[in-house]
Amino acid sequence: MVRILVTGCNGLLGNRLIEFLRARTDVELIATSLGPNRHIQLEGYHYVPMDVMSEHQVLEVCGRYRPDAIIHTAALTQVDMAEQQPLRCRRLNVGAVANMVGVCARFGIHLVHLSTDFVFDGLSGPYSETDPVSPISVYGRSKAAAELLLKDSEISWAVVRTILVYGHEVPAGRSNIVSWAVKLLQSGDEVRVVNDQIRMPTFVGDLAQACVEIAMKRERGIFHISGQDEVSIVELVGRVAQHLGLSMEKVQPVSSSDLPGAELRPRRTGFLLDKARSKINYYPIPLDQGLTAVLGPHVH
């Protein structure tokens, strides 16, 4: 029996990890998040409120449960908020990782840490795991700093970088790119969407499975985990519109320079997935299949 602790389990990925791990007979799951448990399934795992920014709480919970692995998903991921609140961003995205490193060193825990394509500047994507980082935002710099913390540590660690994760909305959770696209298309309002930011959107089910595989195998190093389809943000909105039979009439494609905050977002990221394929047999589903999983069958 492998004991896995998940941080940030009220978020999109954390929710999906609960679904996967609670169903496994070879895993004992300890789910943690700030405040009460918002997952609809309350059985088959332990839930413990834990503030990852509190060294005392992290030490107390990990000392009590002694997990074999931690999948650390808790983070401040809103790019604009990170610019406005750089100290909070630093505390959550770097300070909390320092707390994780401390307990992992003390108890011999394997740490799987979630990171992002925003550690790159977007000038030469798609990227491999060995490409040098060059973040252009407070958020990206905080994630790059957390990665460096792990590299400089003596613990057993893996970094999972991912891109634009989408899935079913979680209870009281924030919007993801697909649910955001549905809302703007259904609103009928005029909306401007960037046409020159290129991403490889990641289905949350694929990402969760990859994280579990890496945790169970105690794989080490950096892993790039994303979808396989390269699309611009406006193309992604178009794919959602096509899937649901909705009109793109009110969607105006614009360049990044026309929108505030665009300079904080890399133009073209995307990942080379060769390492994930060879090490953990990672083959993500196509975008159309992911949209069907989230939105239901294609409307003809």
Place of tokens 């196509």: 286
Query: Which is the catalytic residue, given 45, 47, 127, 139?
Result: 139
pTM above 0.75, yes or no: yes
CB 21 within 8 A of CB 6: yes
Domain-wise residue ranges, the chain: 2-169+201-228+270-285
In order, the DSSP letters of 46-59 are: EEEE--TT-HHHHH
How far is Cα 16 from Cα 28, in angstroms, rounded to an integer?
Answer: 16
Residue 300: per-residue pLDDT: 72
Backbone angles phi, psi at 61, to 5 degrees: -70, -45
pLDDT score, position 188: 86
Tens of pLDDT along the chain (300 residues) come to: 999 999 999 999 999 999 999 999 999 999 999 999 999 889 999 999 999 999 999 999 999 999 999 999 999 999 999 999 999 999 999 999 999 999 999 999 999 999 999 999 999 999 999 999 999 999 999 999 999 999 999 999 999 999 999 999 998 778 899 999 999 999 989 999 999 999 999 999 999 999 999 999 999 999 999 999 999 999 999 999 999 999 999 999 999 989 888 889 999 999 999 999 999 999 999 999 999 999 999 887
CB 68 within 8 A of CB 120: no
pLDDT of residue 159: 98
Task: State the DSSP H helix or E strand holding residue 19, giving kind and residue range, or none if neither.
Answer: helix 12-22
Residue 247 is which amino acid? S
Chain centre distance of CA 160: 8
The whole-number pLDDT of residue 173 equals: 79
Read off the tokens for 222.
Answer: 């950096």
Q: What local confidence, expressed as pLDDT, does residue 174 receive?
A: 84
Report the C-alpha gap between 5 and 27 in whole angstroms.
10
Q: What pLDDT sits at residue 211?
A: 98
> How far apart are alpha carbons 247 and 107 in whole angstroms?
55
Fold of 2-169+201-228+270-285: Rossmann fold (3.40.50)
pLDDT the model gives residue 172: 79
Q: How far apart are CA 7 and CA 50, in angstroms?
A: 8
Given 3-state DSSP classes, what are the helix, strand and coil percentages for the chain, each rounded to the nearest 5? Answer: 40, 20, 40
Query: What pLDDT shows up at residue 263?
Result: 86
Q: Tens digits of per-residue pLDDT, 163-218?
A: 999 999 998 778 899 999 999 999 989 999 999 999 999 999 999 999 999 999 99
For residue 103, the surrounding DSSP H or E stretch is helix 96-107
Tell me if residue 139 is catalytic. yes
